[in-house]
Amino acid sequence: MTATASLEQLRRCHFAVDLGAARTRVYVKGAGLVVDQPSVAAVNTRNGALIAVGEFAERMTGRTPDYIRVVRPVSGGTVVDIEMAQRMLRHLLGDRMRRSLRRRPRLRAAACTPHDADPLAQRATIETLVGLGARRVELVDTLIAAAVGCGLPVERAEATMILVCGAAATQVAVLSLGSIVTAQRMPVGGEAVDRAIVQHLRHEHALMLPSQSVRPLQVALHGNGLTADGPASTEIHGRDVATGLARSVLVDTAAVREAIQTPLTTVLDGIYKVLRDCPPDLVADLADRGIMMVGGSALLPGLDQMLREATGMPVNIAERPDVCAVQGLGDMLEGKVEPLVLDPLGA
Ligand SMILES: Nc1ncnc2c1ncn2[C@@H]1O[C@H](COP(=O)(O)OP(=O)(O)OP(=O)(O)O)[C@@H](O)[C@H]1O
Ligand SMILES: [Mg+2]
């Protein structure tokens, strides 16, 4: 089932939400992108009060006393705790923005949901936004929203391929004439890559690393770190698994590359499947136009180069890959997306 509302309906929405496993983003019509924060809330378990949301809550991860719990209401790309997601969104929006939204007589919201999201997951997203006062919620497939947001010419007859590299999932599609020709959703993303790196350091170097501090290692892998031309080794600071004392080790980057092969292979398999399922005429277009990468994990150093080598196709990263999906929703709200006009004579 593809959840894609009509442009007509979307133009009547007042705000749009992308509830991601890693980050929550909100676009308000006329105001632009007003929220781009981690999907995290910190709760006082003694009285249920919300202590912090977004960046502040994320910084508390792993360093709170017993009575504070850090929660993630979105997991695997779907809202798993509707009430908490609503409270988090209310706080992220802030009083002023919420009041201005509430003034609209019939508040309408749009949201993107992962490709092939099941009806329960869709319902959870809808309910979250209804709790925020929306009287109507339009759902858009993330693949379409992201393609619009990065300016791909989705309405044309030539095929384009988009790869959405999220935290919990990676989605890939071939698009033509404004719709999805074939698509796959793989349940691995930035989180799986981070986990593989954390496990590698633990097993091979007896080094503990909270997964938030994986980024330094990724940064150290810069300059095509995922390909063989990157630096041979890099120094990582962590704690000894046995003693708990601070320690740094020199990590072999080739071994890190090896460690993240499993999630990356799953992504490649999905891309190959989509190519196999794609009509031959469209495959020729794809060879010219290549793959457009969006999503935060598109910035994983060297991932683009790795895909170029594996597929032999041109690979590009969108200008602001992390916000493409919500930007696409925003463009639809603002009426910037032309409805598909089919003119067989091309006049
Ligand atoms: N510069 C970077 N290098 C490597 N990874 C990055 C970088 N910036 C962000 N990421 C990763 O991107 C992911 C977040 O991407 P994004 O914001 O698209 O996720 P999301 O929309 O919340 O997730 P999903 O769509 O799967 O629900 C995280 O796993 C994060 O580690
Ligand atoms: Mg996302």
Q: How far apart are CA 79 and CA 291, in angstroms?
A: 29
pLDDT cut 90: percent of the chain above it: 70
Residue 256 lies in a domain: yes
- Given 99, 128, 145, the domain boundary residue is 145
Structural domain contains residue 56: no
Probe target for ligand 1 pocket from 23, 195, 294, 326, with the most ligand atoms within 8 Å of CB: 23
Same domain membership, residue 236 and residue 140: no
Same domain, 123 and 239: no
282-291 CB burial, b ≥16 within 10 A, e <16 = beebbeebbb
Q: Is any ligand 1 atom within 6 A of the Cβ of residue 178?
A: no
Is residue 232 exposed (0-12), middle (13-18) or buried (19+ Cβ within 10 Å)?
exposed
Annotated binding-site residue? 299 = yes
Task: Classify 18 in phi/psi space as left (phi over 0), alpha (psi -120 to 50) or beta.
Answer: beta
Whether 68 maps to a domain, the answer reads no
Co-location of 167 and 140 in the same domain: no
Same structural domain for residues 160 and 306?
yes
Helices (H), 235-323: 253-259, 261-277, 280-289, 303-311
Examine the domain organization and report whether 135 and 247 are in the same domain: no
Q: Kindly state whether residue 65 falls inside one of the protein's structural domains.
A: no
Specify whether 281 is located in the same domain as 243: yes
Give the CA distances from residue 70 to residues 79, 228, 269, in Å, rounded to whole numbers and listed in that order.
Answer: 16, 38, 35
| Residue 141 reports pLDDT greater than 50 | yes
Residues 134 and 183 in one domain: no
- End position of a domain, from candidates 145, 179, 203: 145
- Indicate the pLDDT class of residue 1, thresholds 50, 70 and 90: very low
Q: Does the beta carbon of 167 sit less than 6 angstroms from any atom of ligand 1?
A: yes
State the total domains in the chain. 2
Scanning the structure block, which residue is given the tokens 């992504």?
A: 267
Q: Sorting pLDDT into bands at 50, 70 and 90, what band is 130?
A: very high
Nearest to 126 by CA among 141, 114, 110: 110
Q: Beta strands 50-53 and 41-44: pairing type?
A: antiparallel
pTM of the model: 0.93
Q: How many CB atoms lie within 10 A of CB 253?
A: 18
Distance in angstroms (rounded) separating the CA atoms of residues 230 and 71? 36
Question: Looking at the DSSP assignment, which residues form a beta bridge with residue 174?
Answer: 161, 182
Residue 325 domain flag = no
274-311: per-residue pLDDT in tens?
Answer: 999 999 999 999 999 999 999 999 998 889 988 999 99
Q: How many residues does the chain have?
A: 347
The residue nearest atom 21 of ligand 1, judged by CA position, is 20
Which ligand is closest in space to the CA of residue 166?
A: 1
Q: Is 298 annotated as ligand-binding? A: yes
Q: Whose CA is nearest to atom 31 of ligand 1?
A: 190
Quick check: is 164 in a domain?
yes
CA 20 – ligand 2 centroid, Å: 5
Q: Is 20 in the pocket of ligand 1 (CB under 6 A)?
A: yes
Q: How many angstroms separate the alpha carbon of residue 152 from the centre of ligand 1? A: 21
Residue 322 CB less than 6 A away from ligand 1? yes
Distances (CA, A) of 228 to 63, 131, 197: 37, 50, 17
Measure the CA–CA gap between 113 and 166, rounded to whole angstroms.
Answer: 12
Q: Which domain holds residue 104?
A: 7-40+74-145
pLDDT higher at 105 or 338? 105
Q: Which residues contact 207 (CB under 8 A, 6 or more apart)?
A: 201, 236, 238, 239, 240, 241, 247, 249
CA-proximal residue: ligand 1, atom 1 (nearest): 299
My answer on whether 226 and 271 are in the same domain is yes
pLDDT at 209: 82
Q: State whether the beta carbon of 189 lies less than 6 angstroms from ligand 1.
A: yes
| 128 assigned to some structural domain | yes
Same domain membership, residue 231 and residue 90:
no
Write out pLDDT tens, residues 28-37: 999 999 999 9
Give residue 81's pLDDT.
97
Q: Is the CB of 330 under 6 A from ligand 1?
A: no
Q: Are residue 137 and residue 223 in the same domain, yes or no?
A: no
Residues 200 and 314 in one domain: yes
Name the more confident of 18 and 198: 18
Question: Average of pLDDT values for 47-58?
Answer: 96
Q: What is the spatial distance between Cα 28 and Cα 45, in angstroms, rounded to a whole number?
A: 32
**What's the whole-number mean pLDDT along residues 229-237?**
78
* 184 and 266 inside one domain: yes
pLDDT at residue 121 in the model:
96
CATH number, domain of 182, equals 3.30.420.40
Examine the fold and report which residue of 114, 145, 176 is the final residue of a domain before the chain moves on: 145
Q: Is 297 in the pocket of ligand 1 (CB under 6 A)?
A: yes
pLDDT tens by residue, 176-187: 988 899 999 999
Q: For residues 226 and 271, which has the higher predicted lDDT (pLDDT)?
A: 271
Non-local CB neighbours of 194 within 8 Å, separated by 6+ positions: 211, 214
Whole-number Å distance, alpha carbon 331 to ligand 2 midpoint, is: 17
In a domain, 33, yes or no: yes
